[in-house]
Amino acid sequence: MLQIPPLLIIILFFVVTKQLIFNMKRIVIFASGSGSNAENIIKHFNSTQTAIVTHVLSNNEHAKVFDRCERLGIDASLFDRESFSKDDTVLNFLHVEADFIVLAGFLWRIPAKIVEAFPNKIINIHPALLPKYGGKGMYGMNVHRTVKENNEPETGITIHYVNENYDEGAIIFQAKTAVSSEDTPETIAQKVHELEYEHFPKVIEEVILQNE
């Protein structure tokens, strides 16, 4: 029987692992809040060979996403508006760390220079069926309260590419859920969160695979 020396097995393991990592696309996530979607995305790609989340960036020093990243062993950094919009600090970082950028509850508009550097490589999720209830200020519970006030029969999620305007990039995917008269903004939010957790990581992976 062929006997493979243990040292050779270890070397082969590291060679194969290194090759897999080099072939994987790199994702940088932007998040402003709790980071539940970010965590879901990180866990999804930890179990695939398609991509790896290399870093999480946040504009909010109090964001709970930092706690999640520490628990998950993911590097996370804080940035300010000057490094994001006025100089090229964040852009230069992305050139090194990212093939794709995912916005997971990120509230700032992406500067034109980043959009131009990553065409059709920046993906956002919006908690409504765009083009309804999009634009500046329409995020989180603001959206769900407006959906309830307008007696909408349905709502959902929109996953789309990012351009220079809030929520106006090309739509990649939408999923719907019914809204009943008994629903509150809070129960609507829960329904929408379930759609986000179910679909967002899979759609990101599909986009990456289509770009290979």
CATH code (residue 76) = 3.40.50.170
pLDDT at 98 (0 to 100): 96
**Domain presence at residue 112:** yes
Decide if pLDDT at 194 tops 90: yes
pLDDT at 23 (0 to 100): 77
pLDDT per residue over 99-125, tens digit each? 999 999 999 999 999 999 999 999 999
When divided into structural domains, the chain yields a total of: 1
**Domain presence at residue 80:** yes
**Domain presence at residue 140:** no
**Domain presence at residue 165:** yes
pLDDT at 16 (0 to 100): 39
pLDDT at 13 (0 to 100): 47
Residues designated catalytic: 126
CA dihedral (134, 139, 145, 150) in degrees, to 10, reads 0
> 56: which strand partners?
29, 76
Q: What percent of the chain has pLDDT above 70? A: 90
Q: What percent of the chain has pLDDT above 90? A: 84
pLDDT per residue over 151-176, tens digit each? 999 999 999 999 998 899 999 999 99
> Binding-site residues, please?
35-37, 81, 124
Decide if pLDDT at 11 tops 90: no
More confident residue, 6 or 46: 46
Domain range for 86 is 24-129+158-172+201-210
**Domain presence at residue 139:** no
pLDDT per residue over 51-69, tens digit each? 999 999 999 999 999 999 9
pLDDT at 8 (0 to 100): 47
**Domain presence at residue 151:** no
CA-to-CA distance for 41 and 103, rounded, in angstroms?
11
pTM for the full predicted model? 0.88
pLDDT at 83 (0 to 100): 94
Helix (H, G, I), strand (E, B) or coil at 17: helix
Confidence band of 18 (pLDDT split at 50, 70, 90)? very low
**Domain presence at residue 141:** no
**Domain presence at residue 105:** yes
> Binding-site residues for (6R)-10-formyltetrahydrofolate, please?
81, 124
pLDDT at 5 (0 to 100): 53
> Which residues fall within 8 angstroms of residue 57, CB to CB, at 6 or more apart?
28, 29, 30, 31, 76, 77, 78, 79, 90, 93
Half-sphere exposure of 99 (CA within 13 A, CB side): 16
Kindly report the backbone phi and psi dihedral angles of residue 28, in degrees, each rounded to the nearest multiple of 5, phi listed first: -110, 130
Decide if pLDDT at 15 tops 60: no
